[in-house]
Structure 1
Amino acid sequence: MKKDITSIFKAHLVPKEVYKGGKNIPPTDKKIYKLSSNENPLGASPKAVAAMKAALDDINIYPDQTDIRLREALVKDFDGQLTADQFFCGNGGSEVIDMLLRAFINEGDEVIFSNPCFLPYSVFSRWYGAHQVDIPLLTPNYELDVEGILNAINEKTKVIFLTSPNNPTGTYIPKSVMDDFMARVPKNILVVFDEVYRHFADANDYVTALPYVLEGHNMIGLNSFSKTYGLAGQRIGYGYTTTTIANYIRLIHKPFLLPLTSIEAAIGALNDTEFIEATVKTVLEGRKYITKAFDELGIKYWPSQANFFIIDPPLPEMEFTDKMMEEGIMVRPVSQFGAPGKVRITIGNAEANEALVKALRKIMDM
């Protein structure tokens, strides 16, 4: 009996959707403002860049075998509330998601997430044969459906993804909601709390994973150096959790996982308080400026706690995206994230934000 190579493919991998990242600026002489990928509006941390440059003379040798130096730097960044054994690192937040799913998911297990959300939650879990359970955020305000998630839990449930602030909606989970959820979720389930945009959240009742980890809950706080620190191109992410969970996940941590320049950049960025503060200030000021413009123009948007907005565009999403590109503004349609018809717009620096508002006014006047 003749068989081809596809006979040994894993059935749960094909044919399925794959995660497609945001586009880069195309070759052009025209000024383009990239407000489509939630990147840092100020560039990269100068201390991180200096640390990378200083490491270039040593790139002919292997980097640190483990991530211990970065984990020790993270202990300082968290004011000593966690130990180095409670952190684990990877090549970006996406790889941290992959690592924890690889560590916990067997074929047939269930993973819960809430669309609209970051697509890798579902795509990556499928790689390991998991059944994806989508408990959508409650409309019209994109609130977490706590009862829906708790009612969906069964003996096959292994991992629940929560995100605050959420990508692509910019909405967050209030502390009272998190307290209630964590008090009721079964103790044999891992809760992954994606908080990569936490530095931009200024709501009085915003909460990270930290207090729940300190209380001993089975939770992972997922973080990245791509946003606040401006190191998206270096691919550095980390998680923090209980010592038991972190030690377990590090069993599958590859030796020499992080490039030398990434390790040095991350440590340098953690020490760059001035850059972090400037980034947050730029985003918060930009958020107010763009919010005011949305209100004046009558554009439907959702209040954001992140460095981006999701809007209901005045034109069909792809037409709107193309029109904005004609005006030199890159934005991102987010149907792939579970928000059909919506568009995500990153908050830029003052110049980019002014160009954005100018383009919006022109389109609204058409």
Structure 2
Amino acid sequence: MSSGIESIFKSYLQPKKAYEGGKGIPVDSSKKIYKLSSNENPLGQSPKATKALLEAAHHVHIYPDQTDIRLREALVQDFNNELTKDQFICGNSGSELIDMILRAFINEGDEVIYSNPCFLPYSVFSRWYGAKQIDVPLLDPDYSLDMEGILNAITEKTKVIFLTSPNNPTGTYIPKAILDNFLSRIPKNIIIVFDEVYRHFADAQDYVSGLPYVKEGHNLIAINSFSKTYGLAGLRIGYCYTTEKIAQYIRQIHKPFLLPHTSTEAAIGALNDSEFISATVKTVLVGRKFLSQAFERLGIKHWPTQANFFLIDPPLPEVEFADFLMGHGVMVRPVSQFGAPGKVRITIGDQESNEALVNVLEKIKPRL
């Protein structure tokens, strides 16, 4: 006999397809695999982060700091004292911070706006709290923000709007003039979650981070991660910054002892490694130019990117394309799940990885 437990299940948490992260390298692989599927750092991790991590490993029998204050103080220095320690919130990855923000602001029936193609947790996490999800797709053919579409979609139930710059998986960004105009027209009772985890790789003259808008007092929360530029994806640590009023409110649901001692120490070490950060950005920018030229030469449609990856329209069906590359030792990521059916995202690697990718792409031409 059924226990009837299903009767108390929340209707919006009925089984649906969940977010699936990128796959790891097969443990039984006997050949070298170039992993260009998860936007990880092509140089590995910061040496200063590694040193701090190893030293911290001797103290894991002790509870970590009760709060994230030391990391927040390090972030103040990293932002050249343009923000105070009370404007930062740290968590176990940017994804957890997105979850925390939604938990703080969303009640069942509230509305959340996002723009596909985008990072899938925006919609998945919103569903966890019973939000009505409003998708205002990016515009064809360049994946630019549909500013008027978003403004027209706002209702009295709208609580959160997700903006991403540079955007995953498209690599596109929101120019400053467009973002200025957009924010000037948003009602004052709406939270803008501004995902900027790829900001270090953006070199467009009119790119802008969330910093000036937070300083101006906009209701904007800028999400950042240590997974990309700093090479700490395996430690799952991130941070956001916003106004002191919003940060103080969210911090009420910040769990004590949330950040592992190892992650905190590695993150502080990484922030102090400007040489590694510069080398990472240079590697990505050089690789971005190399792959763009290769895609042009091979006739592979791709979109200009401000991130450490490319979105391409593959010359084969996306799964067949990914399987073919994997068979030749290169991992890439089909992104139908992100709202970009038929497309594939390719991480920019070091020069060896990028050349391996191009060599495999050249093998596809005889198949067409």
Q: SS of the residue aligned with 1:139?
A: coil
Match of 2:14 in 1: 14
Amino acid at match of 1:210: L
Match of 1:257 in 2: 258
Say whether 1:215 aligns with 2:216: yes
Q: State the alpha-carbon separation in 2 of the partners of residues 101 and 46 from structure 1.
A: 35
Question: Pairwise CA RMSD of aligned residues?
Answer: 0.8
Q: State the alpha-carbon separation in 2 of the partners of residues 14 and 41 from structure 1.
A: 39
Q: State the alpha-carbon separation in 2 of the partners of residues 8 and 35 from structure 1.
A: 43
Q: State the alpha-carbon separation in 2 of the partners of residues 247 and 234 from structure 1.
A: 25
Amino acid at match of 2:281: V
Say whether 1:111 aligns with 2:122: no
Say whether 1:242 aligns with 2:243: yes
Match of 1:155 in 2: 156
Match of 2:300 in 1: 299
Q: State the alpha-carbon separation in 2 of the partners of residues 93 and 137 from structure 1.
A: 22
Structure 2 length-normalised TM: 0.99
Cα gap change, 1:2 to 1:39, in 2 (>3 Å): closer
Stretches of structure 2 that go unaligned for 5 or more consecutive residues are: none
Match of 2:226 in 1: 225
Amino acid at match of 2:135: D
Give 1:17 deviation, angstroms: 1.9
Match of 2:52 in 1: 51
Q: State the alpha-carbon separation in 2 of the partners of residues 57 and 135 from structure 1.
A: 49
Q: SS of the residue aligned with 2:13?
A: coil
Say whether 1:275 aligns with 2:280: no
Amino acid at match of 1:63: P
Q: SS of the residue aligned with 2:204?
A: coil
Match of 1:129 in 2: 130
Amino acid at match of 1:316: P
Give 1:9 deviation, angstroms: 1.4
Give 1:6 deviation, angstroms: 2.0
Q: State the alpha-carbon separation in 2 of the partners of residues 363 and 324 from structure 1.
A: 9
Residues 242-275 of structure 1: per-residue CA shift (max 9 Å, x gap): 0000010000000000000000000000000000
Residues 91-120 of structure 1: per-residue CA shift (max 9 Å, x gap): 000000000000000000000000000000
Q: State the alpha-carbon separation in 2 of the partners of residues 88 and 60 from structure 1.
A: 25
Q: State the alpha-carbon separation in 1 of the partners of residues 224 and 2 from structure 2.
A: 48
Amino acid at match of 1:17: K
Stretches of structure 1 that go unaligned for 5 or more consecutive residues are: none
Q: State the alpha-carbon separation in 1 of the partners of residues 267 and 364 from structure 2.
A: 40
Say whether 1:286 aligns with 2:270: no
Structure 1 length-normalised TM: 0.99
Percent identity reads: 74
Match of 1:28 in 2: 29
Amino acid at match of 1:138: L
Cα gap change, 1:73 to 1:364, in 2 (>3 Å): same
Residues 172-200 of structure 1: per-residue CA shift (max 9 Å, x gap): 00000000001000010000100000000
Q: State the alpha-carbon separation in 2 of the partners of residues 30 and 229 from structure 1.
A: 27
Match of 1:202 in 2: 203
Say whether 1:37 aligns with 2:32: no
Q: State the alpha-carbon separation in 2 of the partners of residues 34 and 44 from structure 1.
A: 15
Q: SS of the residue aligned with 2:189?
A: coil
Q: SS of the residue aligned with 1:255?
A: coil
Give 1:2 deviation, angstroms: 5.6
Q: State the alpha-carbon separation in 2 of the partners of residues 90 and 2 from structure 1.
A: 40
Q: SS of the residue aligned with 1:132?
A: strand
Q: State the alpha-carbon separation in 1 of the partners of residues 249 and 212 from structure 2.
A: 21
